[in-house]
Each structure stands twice: as C-alpha cells, then as structure tokens.
Amino acid sequence: MPAGIVTKSTGSWYEVRSESGESIACRIRGKFKLQGFKLTNPVAVGDEVVYKFEGDDALIIEILPRKNYIVRQSPRQKHNLHLLAANIDQAIVVVTIINPMLKQGFIDRFLLMTEPHDIPVIIVFNKSDLFGEEEEQIFGGLKNIYEKIGYEVIHTSALTGENLEVLRSKLKNKTTLIGGQSGVGKSSLLNVLHDDLTLRTKEISEYSGKGQHTTTFAEMLYIDKDTAIIDTPGIKTLSFNNLEVEDVAHNFREFFKASSACKFGNCTHRNEPKCAVKDAIDEDHISILRYQNYLAILDEIEAQNYWERHTDY
C-alpha cells in the first residue's frame, strides 16, 4: 500500500504528499492514541502514514513510527492534547521585543515542548528594525541567557532583510517547525525567505497591541525537495496537562544539570534546603527570569492537577 507524508491537517481531512509528490486528500480510519492521552488530532503534520483507496476515498490506515513529535495542551479541550507536528529536525520560535511586546515566558513554555525530545531550537527575535537602545539591551541580555544554556539566538527583520540569509541557511535540507504568538511576523518572515510562500499577513491591532491570527491550520511548505517548513497557527498560550512537576524540572536543562548537587533527589527547587539550583540562581549562574517562569508553570500544573482530582466531569 502507498505511503506518504502528512502536509496539512484541517480537522477531519488530511493532505498527504505521496512519494511521487502528488497531494492526496485523506480521512482517517480507526482511533490513534499517544501514550494513553486523548488527542484532538491523532495525525500530525509531518507524520509518515500508510493509506489506501476505497472507491474514490483515500483512508489513512497506519501511522509509521515517529522519531519525535511536539505536543501541547488543547486550547479548547483542556483534557486533551493537540499534536503540532511530528518527525522534525529542528524548531524555530519567533518572538518580538516590541510590537507586540515581549512575553519572555512564552519562550520557556515553547522550549518545554521541544526539550523532552532533544529537538534543537533557534530563538528568533523578529522586527529588529524597530529596536532602539532599550530593545537592543533587552535582546543582548536574553541572547546571553539562552546561548549560555545551549540555544541559538538571532535577530531578524523581514523589512530590512537583516540576518535572513543566516536564517535561510539554517533551514536548508531540514524539516523545521516554526511557531510563535500572533503578530510576531512569522508569516512575513516566511514570505521573504522564499518567494513561493505567499502566506497571508495581518497588521497588529492598534487597539489591543496584539497580533491577529493569519494561519488557521498547521501546514508543511516545501522550499525544495529536501527543505520543508511546518507553519503553525499563532499560539496565544501554552499549557501542559501532560506534565508533572518532575517533568518540568527535568526539562529546564540548566536546572536538571545543577540538580545533581541538590540534597534531595526529588527536589523541586522551591523550598527544599540545600538546593543547588537556588544556589546557582543566587550566584547568577542560572537566570532568575527562567526560574520565575519555571515557578509559574509549576503553580499552573499543580492547580490543574488539583482541579482534575477534585472535579467530576
């Protein structure tokens, strides 16, 4: 039976790119699960699938083993998970410092999706043409924080073309997921990176200062036969109903590295004595910004777990 790669997920229909490059509209047969979690979309863009024809219909009947995947809590169905993509080589998170204003916590939440699968991430600060002295200082500080723990950081401008050649070179011969909050200029970047990507763009709302959604469904876009981009809808928030406190501590990479020196093996790095992570924060070896975001995620997960244990639904 034929196999192909899912290039678009629209809810009930999936576009599959056949081995010959043809686009096949498919539905799914049966139920697919992920480690016991309920999925809003059991098949992800990037999945390699087996399909067959029944009359005029094409049906996905098997998902081949994934080398990795990125999953988030469904924004609409709080007890379910949503697959963003599968089988990617790297991810890019696009953020801005201004227009819209920076939400640094979003970076750490995005990294919490990729870290469990050791997916390399490039952090792109877009709209550098708007940077003044204050924004340059903020960028320099954040670049130092994330490069120190092993992430690549660059700033770009779709308007001036700054560092677009650098970014284009990093996409070559890879499948890359690109994500970010609405309004950060993700679609504008992609349009400039490749002439054939005529993605829709929208202006920032002058009233709210927030972005407006332009991408509705995740979609794989081929730049050439060996280079693909998975464009994702603008993300408002990222939550994690699939994680426990220990998972978060494990996947803040510099926390995990320092935790080997904690007094307690199950240290959560909050109120425990002789915590090596807190000592590293006091000595400026670990970013206090990352730690504050870490604590906020722990509080959210514990509150959600408490609600689920004490609520019938």
Nearest CA-CA partner of 109 in 158, 53, 70? 70
Structure tokens at 296: 């906020």
- At residue 213 the predicted structure's pLDDT band, cuts being 50, 70 and 90, is very low
Say what the pLDDT of residue 227 is: 92
pLDDT of residue 215: 42
Contact 191, 158 (CB under 8 A): yes
Instruction: Provide the CA 313 distance to its chain's centre, in angstroms.
Output: 29
Q: Which residue from 236, 231, 207, 205 is spatially nearest to 218, judged by alpha carbons?
A: 231
Structural domains in the chain?
3-67 (2.40.50.140), 88-231 (3.40.50.300), 245-309 (1.10.40.50)
Question: Which amino acid type is present at position 213?
Answer: H
Question: Which of 64-73, 181-190, 269-278 has the highest average model confidence (pLDDT)?
Answer: 269-278
- Amino acid 42: pLDDT: 85
For position 187, what pLDDT does the model report?
86
Q: What percentage of the chain has pLDDT greater than the value 90?
A: 65
* Predicted confidence (pLDDT) per residue in 127-180, tens digit: 999 999 999 999 999 999 999 999 999 999 999 999 999 999 999 999 999 999
How much is the average pLDDT of 244-272?
95
pLDDT value at residue 223: 87
Q: Tens of pLDDT along 288-311? A: 999 999 999 999 988 876 555 545
- Are 286 and 297 spatial neighbours (Cβ–Cβ below 8 Å)? no
What's the pLDDT tens digit per position in 169-206? 999 999 999 999 889 999 889 888 876 654 444 443 44
